[in-house]
Amino acid sequence: MTTTSTAGVDTWEMVMAHRLYRLLHRLGELNDAWRASAAATVRDELADVLAQASPVLDEHLDDEERDLLPLVPPHVSQQEWDALNARARGSRPKDLRSAFAALGAMVEDATAEEQRRFMTELPPPVRLLWHLAGRRSWTRSRNRVRRG
């Protein structure tokens, strides 16, 4: 369903962007509430809103890759693009335990297909480390946190 206004803006995309904004805003509220109370009702609502947000976010990111990334080369130099990538790499966890915790948190509630897709995008050495030690490290850390 695509409806384009006279300004050339796809109103369906605007509706979806607004829906994503509302879901992400609600996730922030629920995350704060869950961190404060760890109440089961808040946990359940948080899980429900995450499940709603995931496909909307996937569609939004697919749209950005399809519609926006082709606009980058004429407007962003290779040097600027490399600087952006370096900055993103610099925000990664600095030690293996933190990296395993981040990776585990990312894949824990993903579907099997989402996990497969995510893992195939990781460099082979990272996948190997995850399978050899990371998954066990993540499981121990997660269990310690959940036991309190």
Do 103 and 54 lie in one domain? The reply is: no
Residue at 1 is within a domain: no
Model confidence at 8, in pLDDT bands (50, 70, 90)?
low
pLDDT in tens, 12-44: 777 878 888 899 999 999 989 988 998 889 989
pLDDT in tens, 79-94: 998 888 788 767 767 7
pTM (2 d.p.):
0.52
Do 85 and 99 lie in one domain? The reply is: no
CA distance 122 to 51: 24
Do 123 and 51 lie in one domain? The reply is: no
Q: In whole numbers, what is the pLDDT of the chain averaged over residues? A: 84
Cα–Cα nearest to 129, from 106, 95, 87, 105: 95
Do 13 and 84 lie in one domain? The reply is: yes
Do 84 and 106 lie in one domain? The reply is: no
Residues 6+ apart with CB under 8 A from 19: 56
Task: Say if residues 23 and 49 touch (Cβ distance below 8 Å).
Answer: yes
pLDDT in tens, 42-53: 989 998 998 899
Q: How many domains does the chain have?
A: 2
CA distance 100 to 139: 9
Question: Mean pLDDT highest for which of 82-86, 117-121, 135-139, 144-148?
Answer: 135-139
Model confidence at 6, in pLDDT bands (50, 70, 90)?
very low
Do 83 and 124 lie in one domain? The reply is: no
What was the pLDDT predicted at 15?
Answer: 80
Do 66 and 105 lie in one domain? The reply is: no
Do 20 and 75 lie in one domain? The reply is: yes
Among the ranges given (54-58, 88-92, 106-110, 139-143), the one the predictor scored with the smallest mean pLDDT: 88-92
116: containing domain: 93-148
What was the pLDDT predicted at 148?
Answer: 64
